[in-house]
């Protein structure tokens, strides 16, 4: 194994965090009756699933060959708002889910920052920065939706 156990453990923790985040977004999507909430939580779940799969690939590659894998970013675009979204308002539970999602994304950003600081590999830094930047975009979308709901 040519990659340090510390880095492999950190990548494994990132995999676990992405799985937990995916599970939260899937539950939130199923819980809300609001089309806008469903659309946002579905998109968030898809992107977190993509992170999980890419990090799993990375873990295997680092463990077996010590090589970082390329990550060009997420290919999941947020679907446009549907006409039915403007007739329905989110209830307090949905707003709370968005607040929780903000915290999750902030923790994800901070964790990727830690990983970026711990790797000296240029490809590794680029991959982790792309993942961190996607978490930043998630936070932006969540915050924008929450601000719109809270007025």
Please count the structural domains in the chain. 1
CA distances from 88 to 46, 74, 75 (A): 24, 29, 29
Per the structure block, which two tokens stand in for 77? 């675009």
Domain contains 72:
no
pLDDT in tens, the chain (151 residues): 345 888 999 999 999 999 999 999 999 999 888 787 888 899 999 999 999 999 999 999 999 998 888 776 665 555 555 554 444 444 546 788 888 999 999 999 999 999 999 998 898 899 899 999 999 999 999 999 888 877 7
Contact between 142 and 102 under an 8 Å Cβ cutoff? The reply is yes
Domain contains 123:
yes
List the CATH number of the domain containing 23: 1.20.1260.10
Domain contains 133:
yes
Domain contains 21:
yes
Domain of residue 134: give its range.
Answer: 5-66+89-150
Domain contains 134:
yes
Domain contains 106:
yes
């Amino acid at each position: 194994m040519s990659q340090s156990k510390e880095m492999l453990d950190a990548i494994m923790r990132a995999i676990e965090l992405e799985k937990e985040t995916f599970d939260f977004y899937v539950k939130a999507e199923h819980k809300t009756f609001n089309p806008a909430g469903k659309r946002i939580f579905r998109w968030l779940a898809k992107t977190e699933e993509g992170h999980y799969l890419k990090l799993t690939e990375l873990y295997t590659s680092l463990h077996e060959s010590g090589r970082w894998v390329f990550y060009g970013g997420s290919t999941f675009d947020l679907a446009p708002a549907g006409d039915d979204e403007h007739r329905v308002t989110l209830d307090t539970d949905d707003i709370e889910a968005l607040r929780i999602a903000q915290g999750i994304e902030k923790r994800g950003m901070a964790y990727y920052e830690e990983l970026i600081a711990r790797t000296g590999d240029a490809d590794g830094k680029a991959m982790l920065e792309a993942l961190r930047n996607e978490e930043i975009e998630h936070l932006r979308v969540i915050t924008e939706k929450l601000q719109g709901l809270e007025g």
